[in-house]
Chain A
Amino acid sequence: MYEKDQMIDIIKLITDIKHGKLSSSYSIAVRAEQSLENLISQGKWNTAQELMNLIKLRLKKIVHLLPQEATTNNIMRHILKIIRDEYDAGFKSKAEGQQTLHHLVTADLDKDATDYSKPLPSLKLALLDHLAEYKVELEASGDNIASQASEHIHSNEVILTVGKSNTVKKFLKFAAKTRKYHVIVVESAPDYQGHAMAASLAKSNIQTIVIPDSAVFAMMSRVNKVIIGTYTVMANGGLRAASGVNSVALAAKHYSVPVMVLVHMYKLSPIHACAYEQDTFNVFASPGDVLPYSSGPVLNKVHIYNPIFDYVPPELVTLFITHQGGNAASYVYRLLSELYHPDDYYL
């Protein structure tokens, strides 16, 4: 009973995501972080192990109900890593100081499987501190990414972007303060979010052009850079992005146009997934967006797929821009090891 009560916050989170009340990844991230913070400060747990179990329960629930929602999972995994780190830091500070190289090499991995069930009274406070820092980092990450805009965008350049992304918007608007350049926005059917993006950019006095998805290849030769956002970054450096981004990336490859992906740290996912099994990789939305229901008996004869996500292989991505700077796609695995503990990759 008691545990079930505690899951309510997660259920509420899932409900809000499903009902569309939390629309952007950022708001989901903030909310997830908030609920975990509540859990840590008010939850009933004594040892690190218990806390981790609670979090893992929630993680399982979300994976079960919202399999493609990666942001919350990534944040929870990161917090698990924070817990482990704090735990280790808490205990190790009592132990010997430096670890020699010899020590590191000869350390037996098995024995090192730390037992997290030793109670550590300062853990809670340490965690909350760390989480507060993390929260600040989260809130600032958008601005941090945007502040790198001037390095990447130069005057009189033509930038191409796809659909709507708040991160990209901030990025472009920041650069527009000091540079004058053009932006081409791909309208991104069937939801045409590119229109809203273009309107918003135009308000900041950026020269914007909207093009349909079919015109991407034709325009690509004139584009200097492609700057996009994404939903998730997979463990191999591939992207799970909005539908249509793969064609843009392929066209960019053809014309050797650099593709830059703006990612927050909570979008990096430790899961290897790719397009071979669309049933698990992708979510299919209503076919009514593609072929309206009023089309009549032709619907009895066709199968209509309206995928939300697209897989972009890592070869097509030139640069990942995180709040710490730019990284190549092949460097993603390193970032992952900093963010998550390998034991938390798969549940």
Chain B
Amino acid sequence: MLFNPEFQAVILAAGKGSRMPELTAGKPKCLLPVGSKPLIWYPLLKLQQSRFTDVIVVVFENQRAEIQTAIDKTDLKIKVEYFPLPSNEDLGTADTLRLLEEKLKSDVIVMSCDLITDINLNNILDLFRKHNASLCTLFFNPQAQEPIVVPGPKSKHKPERDLVGIDKQTNRLVFLASASDFEFDVSLPKALLRKHTSLNVYSNLIDSHLYIVKNWIIKYLKYDQNISTLKGELLPYIIKKQLAKPQKNTVTNTSIINIQDSNDIFQFAKEVDLDILIRESSTYTDHFGDLKASYHSDPIRCYSYIADTKNFGIRVNTLPAYWYINGKITDIWCDVTNEKELVKIDSKAEIKSNQVDDKCIIWESCKLNEKTSFKNSIIGSNTVVNSFSRVFNSVVMNGVTIKERVALENCIVCDGAVIESGSQLKGCLVGSNHTVPEQSQHCNEVLTKSDQLMEF
């Protein structure tokens, strides 16, 4: 490389998918099918359309081959570099970045593999560039949720809520915490309120887990080995540090000081002198109401981009979310993929049925026999559906065999499952490689081999 690119992209695809264990037992979360593509295709496409040419995808060692094949099969042109993590270790998101430290030479955009959105990434990148921010996050307004019936047993899904504090005048992100961190009272430092006198605290924003961080943050991660997750630890720490002031160094002669003392975060966050000079020479000030310099002379600045209410953004990390996005993907396909063509029925599928409605998405190498009927469903690759079966409103993944006279409604069937004839499943989750015996009738259940569920 002759020069460093402005940004480097990292997609974290080594999540265990612990919030939807039934689906992720046999398949990496990033390869779950959404519409006609695997989940990870969407963030990759977003990066590709934002003119990124390379991306580092962090995967588990043992899932790497599978993921690589799946991505190669798609028509993405972006160059993917796979960074394997040992499968047995439980690494946090920040730990992962720490391991990538040598590869990351410029500012980093960290995404999680489960983000599907129609937002233009350039807006966030511009916000980052405009203020020379240390950190930039993306939040979505909550989508209008229609009540949907989720397959599987009814479970109370308590969404996690974040408290996001943003200064009204300057749009700086000054407070970020999870609502579950507090029991009765939320305490804000008085100094914060004196500095940012007018704040908006939102409690219903959805964090996209898309962060743009400056390079020095990666270096700081290397130094501070205690931080293990991005959202839980690193972000609140950096946001809190905006309030503190760097200590004045008065001494520069002989250093008898220990190395440990000199490296607090402000050593890392040093701004280029020329930038400081330019800022001080200009009359630009980002806030009014006091006599302080622009940005209060803070070397650390965190910003947050709140997407417009019209924008769509969802993180597919829970079962309801997965179910929701599959239902909506055909509607929002154009926005999300920026007018790419949606191939609903793959050319290599063998369809002998004539009752496939136009909301279905059929992947390649399927065999749909006659006298079968499909409504609003997604059928994965290499699936065989035998006659007299009907699949309504369901997601059927790859390599599934559905025998005759099977009725599937509102179900999710994972890879390699076999559903013997005569079964009637409503609102069920069939685990991967599981065989549903003949004539079974199930409603709102999870059908799977018990040893495949994740252990906690």
Instruction: Tell me the A residues contacting B by CB distance below 8 Å.
Output: 294-298
Contact = CB atoms under 8 A, between A and B. Distances in A.
B291 A297 contact: yes
A294 B288 contact: yes
A298 B289 CA distance: 8
A9 B396 CA distance: 89
B193 to A, nearest CB: 15
Name the prevailing secondary structure of the B interface residues.
loop
Contacts of B291: 296-298
A274 to B, nearest CB: 36
A58 B20 CA distance: 87
B372 to A, nearest CB: 67
Secondary structure of the A contact surface, majority rule: helix
B341 interface: no
11 contacts: A294-B288, A294-B289, A295-B288, A295-B289, A296-B288, A296-B289, A296-B290, A296-B291, A297-B290, A297-B291, A298-B291
A295 B169 CA distance: 13
Nearest to A298: B291
Nearest to B169: A294
A297 B291 CA distance: 7
Interface string B274-296: 00000000000000111100000
Given A295-B289, A296-B291, A297-B290, 8 more contacts: A294-B288, A294-B289, A295-B288, A296-B288, A296-B289, A296-B290, A297-B291, A298-B291
Contacts of A296: 288-291
Nearest to A297: B291
Interface of B: 288-291
Instruction: State the 8 A-B residue pairs at the shortest beta-carbon distance, nearest first.
Output: A296-B289, A296-B290, A297-B291, A294-B289, A295-B288, A298-B291, A297-B290, A295-B289
Interface centre among A295, A296, A297 (most CB of B within 10 A): A296
Contacts of B289: 294-296
Contacts of A297: 290-291
Contacts of B290: 296-297
A302 to B, nearest CB: 12
B173 to A, nearest CB: 23
Nearest to B287: A296
A294 B289 CA distance: 6
A142 B290 CA distance: 50
A298 B288 CA distance: 10
Nearest to A291: B288
Nearest to B289: A296
A295 B289 CA distance: 4
A50 to B, nearest CB: 60
Nearest to A292: B288
Nearest to B198: A294
Contacts of A298: 291
A83 B291 CA distance: 62
A296 B288 CA distance: 7
A136 to B, nearest CB: 54
A296 B291 CA distance: 7
A294 B169 CA distance: 12
A39 B13 CA distance: 91
B286 to A, nearest CB: 14
A297 B197 CA distance: 14
A301 to B, nearest CB: 9
A295 B291 CA distance: 9
A296 B194 CA distance: 12
B456 to A, nearest CB: 53
Contacts of B288: 294-296
A296 B287 CA distance: 11
Nearest to B290: A296
Contacts of A295: 288-289
A334 B290 CA distance: 56
A121 to B, nearest CB: 70
Contacts of A294: 288-289
A233 to B, nearest CB: 41
A24 B291 CA distance: 41
A96 B288 CA distance: 78
A297 B290 CA distance: 6
A88 B73 CA distance: 111
Nearest to A301: B291
A294 B291 CA distance: 12
A59 B290 CA distance: 47
A294 B288 CA distance: 8
A320 B302 CA distance: 62
A27 B289 CA distance: 41
Nearest to A294: B289
A5 to B, nearest CB: 52
A297 B292 CA distance: 10
B244 to A, nearest CB: 23
Nearest to B288: A295
A297 B288 CA distance: 10
A297 B289 CA distance: 7
B124 to A, nearest CB: 30
A150 to B, nearest CB: 50
A292 to B, nearest CB: 9
A283 to B, nearest CB: 28
A267 to B, nearest CB: 41
A102 to B, nearest CB: 76
A296 B296 CA distance: 14
B327 to A, nearest CB: 48
B198 to A, nearest CB: 10
A290 to B, nearest CB: 14
A295 to B, nearest CB: 6
A101 B393 CA distance: 114
A196 to B, nearest CB: 28
B287 to A, nearest CB: 10
A258 to B, nearest CB: 39
A294 to B, nearest CB: 6
A295 B288 CA distance: 6
A223 B291 CA distance: 43
B428 to A, nearest CB: 60
Nearest to A295: B288
A129 B215 CA distance: 90
A182 B291 CA distance: 45
A1 to B, nearest CB: 54
B305 to A, nearest CB: 26
